[in-house]
């Protein structure tokens, strides 16, 4: 479902990420999920540097989702950001939960859907 929304970053902190369960770990083991090491503090306090998160591929995302996106100017860089809005062209606005230490859509603009590689569904560590 596509929708347009604006939410303040503080409201997102209400969204709590669950811990990985046996089913997530099983799906990871058979290659249906991917795990990533978090580096940096732009998603603090949701994630700390050193956390490990699990990603699932999907086509559409909603405001509030934490996603793994390709950096618009550095193709080899995967970044972890939160979707804050979706515009009428289906492009995503991304922001860090810690705006003082985040480079995000305020700097590089909106991101097309094909640059979003998956959604964070749980925390492994």
Partner 1 sequence: MFDKWRNADLEIAEAHCDGPCGVYDPSQARIEAESVLQLTKKILDLKAPDGGDQKASAAYQNTLTRFIAIKEDRAELAKHHLLVLWTDYFKPQHLETYPDLHELFWKSAKLCSSCKQEVSLEHAQELMDNIKRVHEIFWETKGKDVPWFTAS
SS3 of residue 55 by DSSP: strand
52 counts as binding partner 1 under rule CB under 8 A:
yes
Distance, CA of 76 to CA of 42 (rounded, Å) = 18
CA-CA distances (angstroms) from residue 97 to 8, 28, 40, 89? 10, 26, 12, 24
For 59, half-sphere exposure in the C-beta direction (CA atoms, 13 angstrom radius) is 2
Q: Is 81 a catalytic residue?
A: yes
Q: With CA atoms as reference, report the closest residue to 79 among 90, 98, 63, 95.
A: 95
Distance, CA of 94 to CA of 121 (rounded, Å) = 17
35 counts as binding partner 1 under rule CB under 8 A:
yes
- Of the candidate spans 10-18, 25-33, 56-64, 83-91, the one that interacts with partner 1 by CB under 8 A turns out to be 25-33
Q: Which of residues 96-125 bind partner 1 (CB under 8 A)?
A: 96, 99-103, 106-107, 124
CB-nearer residue toward partner 1: 63 or 96: 96
- Of the candidate spans 10-18, 26-34, 56-64, 83-91, the one that interacts with partner 1 by CB under 8 A turns out to be 26-34
25 counts as binding partner 1 under rule CB under 8 A:
yes
Q: Is 8 a catalytic residue?
A: no
Binding site for partner 1 (CB under 8 A): 22, 25-26, 28-29, 34-43, 47, 49, 52-53, 55, 68, 71, 77-81, 96, 99-103, 106-107, 124
């Amino acid at each position: 479902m596509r929708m347009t929304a604006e939410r303040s970053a503080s409201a997102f902190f209400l969204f709590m990420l669950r811990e990985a369960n046996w089913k997530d770990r099983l799906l990871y083991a058979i290659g249906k999920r991917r795990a990533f090491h978090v580096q940096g503090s732009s998603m603090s306090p949701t994630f700390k540097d050193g956390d490990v998160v699990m990603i699932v591929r999907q086509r559409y995302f909603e405001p509030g989702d934490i996603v793994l996106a390709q950096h618009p100017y550095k193709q080899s860089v995967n970044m972890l950001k939160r979707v804050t809005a979706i515009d009428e062209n289906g492009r995503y606005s991304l922001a860090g939960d810690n705006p003082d230490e985040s480079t995000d859509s305020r700097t590089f603009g909106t991101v097309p859907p094909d640059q979003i590689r998956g959604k964070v569904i749980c925390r492994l560590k």
